[in-house]
């Protein structure tokens, strides 16, 4: 009842919330629990030694260092590959140099042997009692380098096949002439072609290619290409067989089928021989050209050889001098 007896109109009691017993105890306990913290003290280090992260748990190398190592290893591999490529190229150059030196030595040896000994002519191979003596010297093993012997022999076989075809052409034109006398022109011309083209082909395109491979002569190569191009054209004309041209080609042989079948067959065989000559000539021309590109011959060297061999030849000089003196004498 005393609580109700208090004066309600009196001033209220001034209460301090921080004077509460629980707040005062917590405040005093927190202040007393705070102490100075020294991270380098022995006690703190000892207390936290169990939480230290072991070194082995940390990565031994950072990511940047690993990338640098990978790049350096790749660069080393590329350098090794480049060095191996250079070594291979050097070995290839050394091999080519050794091969070139060997060829030059063989050429010098052949030149020395030819200068030291006079070779007797052995072609054509005629009997000793024959009044006509051989006119040329020919020895593939002694004169021609080993890598060119096969192509040179093939050119020789082509010339022999060419000569045999011209002889058969004479027989075919003779049969052609026996059937009809108006074809006597073909028979006469076939004899002329045999007598003319057999020695001329030997001198004008076989011997130049033989000399070209024997002495690596640029002038002989160019002379052979110039003449043999016309020889291929002649083979094509002979294969066609234009009437009254002295060739037993396809046109003349086919025209004889209705007149005389036996003569037509003989002429067709000869036309086939002319066709084989043309095909082999084109094939061998390409082979000689491929070999020519490997020899190092050139048009400049051909001009130099012409100047040194032809213009300085004594026979040529004497003939030119005689012609000049005759011209001045007439004037």
Question: Does the residue 235 lie in any domain?
Answer: yes
Structure-block tokens of residue 320: 């030119």
If 0-12 CB within 10 Å is exposed, 13-18 middle and 19+ buried, where does residue 251 land?
A: middle
CA angle 250, 251, 252 (to 5 degrees): 95
Structure-block tokens of residue 65: 């260092």
Q: What span, in angstroms and rounded, lies between the C-alpha atoms of 194 and 165? A: 9
pLDDT tens per residue across span 13-44: 555 555 556 555 555 554 454 455 555 555 55
Q: What pLDDT, on the 0 to 100 scale, is given for residue 57? A: 46
Q: What pLDDT, on the 0 to 100 scale, is given for residue 279? A: 97
CA angle 78, 80, 83 (to 5 degrees): 110
In sequence order, what are the beta bridge partners of 123?
136
Q: What pLDDT, on the 0 to 100 scale, is given for residue 228? A: 95
Question: 201 CB contacts (<8 Å, ≥6 apart)?
Answer: 159, 162, 163, 231
Structure-block tokens of residue 235: 């083979």
Q: What pLDDT, on the 0 to 100 scale, is given for residue 11? A: 53
Question: Does the residue 112 lie in any domain?
Answer: no
Question: Does the residue 159 lie in any domain?
Answer: yes
Question: Does the residue 56 lie in any domain?
Answer: no
Number of domains in the chain: 1
Range of the domain at 246: 147-295
- Cβ-based neighbour number of residue 109 at 10 Å: 10
Question: Does the residue 224 lie in any domain?
Answer: yes
pLDDT tens per residue across span 142-176: 889 888 999 999 999 999 999 999 999 999 999 99
Question: Does the residue 34 lie in any domain?
Answer: no
Distances (CA, A) of 194 to 173, 211, 304: 12, 24, 36
Structure-block tokens of residue 69: 């190592």
Question: Does the residue 12 lie in any domain?
Answer: no
**Consecutive 10-residue averages of pLDDT for the chain (331 residues):** 53 55 56 52 53 50 56 77 84 82 71 60 84 88 89 95 96 92 91 95 94 87 93 96 92 91 94 97 93 69 61 52 53 49
CA dihedral in degrees (103, 105, 106, 112; nearest 10)?
Answer: 150
pTM of the model: 0.61
Half-sphere exposure of 152 (CA within 13 A, CB side): 24
Q: What span, in angstroms and rounded, lies between the C-alpha atoms of 280 and 287? A: 10
Is 246:267 a contact under the CB 8 Å cutoff? no
Is 134:271 a contact under the CB 8 Å cutoff? no
Render 285-297 in DSSP notation, one character per residue.
HHHHHHHHHHHT-
Q: What pLDDT, on the 0 to 100 scale, is given for residue 316? A: 44
Question: Does the residue 55 lie in any domain?
Answer: no
Structure-block tokens of residue 93: 């150059």
């Amino acid at each position: 009842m005393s609580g109700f007896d208090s004066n309600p109109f009196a001033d209220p009691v001034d209460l301090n919330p921080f004077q509460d017993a629980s707040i005062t105890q917590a405040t005093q306990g927190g202040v007393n629990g705070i102490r100075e913290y020294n991270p380098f003290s022995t006690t703190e280090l000892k207390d936290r030694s169990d939480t230290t992260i072991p070194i082995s748990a940390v990565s031994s190398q950072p990511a940047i260092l690993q990338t640098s190592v990978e790049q350096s290893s790749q660069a080393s591999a590329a350098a090794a590959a480049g060095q191996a490529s250079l070594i291979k190229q050097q070995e290839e150059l050394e091999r080519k140099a050794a091969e070139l030196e060997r060829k030059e030595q063989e050429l010098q040896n052949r030149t020395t042997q030819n200068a030291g000994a006079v070779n007797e002519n052995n072609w054509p191979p005629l009997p000793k009692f024959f009044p006509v003596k051989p006119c040329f010297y020919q020895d593939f093993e002694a004169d021609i380098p080993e890598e060119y012997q096969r192509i040179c022999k093939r050119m020789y076989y082509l010339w022999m096949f060419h000569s045999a075809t011209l002889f058969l052409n004479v027989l075919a034109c003779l049969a052609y002439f026996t059937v009809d006398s108006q074809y006597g022109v073909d028979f006469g011309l076939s004899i002329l072609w045999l007598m003319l083209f057999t020695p001329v082909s030997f001198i004008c395109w076989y011997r130049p290619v033989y000399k070209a491979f024997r002495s690596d002569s640029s002038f002989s190569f160019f002379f052979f290409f110039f003449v043999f191009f016309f020889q291929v054209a002649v083979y094509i004309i002979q294969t066609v067989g234009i009437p009254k041209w002295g060739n037993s080609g396809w046109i003349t042989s086919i025209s004889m089928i209705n007149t005389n079948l036996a003569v037509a067959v003989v002429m067709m065989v000869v036309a086939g021989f002319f066709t084989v000559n043309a095909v082999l000539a084109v094939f061998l021309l390409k082979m000689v050209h491929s070999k020519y590109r490997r020899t190092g011959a050139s048009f400049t060297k051909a001009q130099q050889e012409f100047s040194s061999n032809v213009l300085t030849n004594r026979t040529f000089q004497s003939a030119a001098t005689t012609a000049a003196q005759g011209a001045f004498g007439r004037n």
